[in-house]
């Protein structure tokens, strides 16, 4: 069976929820964790620009066994620190939505930990190093 009863679209009734793309769902996960981290650590974080990119740009001669999950570039002068999560490498390591959520939390907490010089367990009590 197909149609507006099953698939939200322009002809669907107002109460039918819209389907989120995987990218939008990932962005929402990231925003939830970033909001929690910024709320708790805003003084220590200072000006940080959080972003999501599809994949990292790696050089042609990249010889590491793994692809980076995130990048942290410290700000200088008037430029803010930039913390970027790479969506596709993280998604490919997660089997379920719960795995994905836990991995996003783990990667963000580890990056913030490195940035402000505190142990990950102190950054967020939900941190589990086995999730990465």
Question: Rounded to an integer, what distance in angstroms lies between the CA atom of residue 92 and that of residue 119?
Answer: 27
Question: Rounded to an integer, what distance in angstroms lies between the CA atom of residue 21 and that of residue 27?
Answer: 10
Reduced to 3 states, what is the DSSP secondary structure of residue 53?
Answer: strand
Tens digit of pLDDT per residue, the chain (132 long)? 444 445 556 665 565 556 678 898 999 999 999 999 999 999 998 889 999 999 998 888 877 788 899 999 998 888 999 999 999 999 999 999 999 999 999 999 999 999 999 999 999 998 877 755
Q: How far is CA 19 from CA 8, 9, 16, 85, 120, in A?
A: 7, 9, 9, 23, 34
pLDDT at 105: 95
Question: Rounded to an integer, what distance in angstroms lies between the CA atom of residue 46 and that of residue 118?
Answer: 15
Q: Model's pTM, two decimal places?
A: 0.81
Domains of the chain: 34-55+67-131 (3.30.2010.20)
pLDDT at 2: 45
| Helix H or strand E encompassing 90 | helix 87-93
pLDDT at 12: 59
């Amino acid at each position: 069976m197909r149609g507006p009863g099953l698939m939200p679209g322009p002809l669907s009734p107002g109460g039918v929820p819209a389907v989120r793309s995987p990218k939008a769902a990932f962005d929402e996960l990231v925003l939830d964790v970033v909001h929690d981290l910024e709320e708790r650590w805003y003084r220590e974080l200072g000006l940080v620009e959080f972003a999501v990119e599809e994949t990292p740009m790696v050089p042609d001669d990249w010889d590491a066994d793994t692809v980076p999950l995130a990048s942290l570039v410290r700000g200088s002068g008037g430029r803010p620190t930039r913390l970027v999560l790479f969506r596709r490498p993280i998604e490919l390591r997660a089997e379920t939505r719960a795995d994905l959520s836990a991995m996003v939390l783990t990667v963000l907490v580890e990056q913030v930990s490195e940035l402000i010089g505190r142990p990950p367990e102190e950054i967020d009590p939900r941190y589990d190093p086995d999730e990465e």
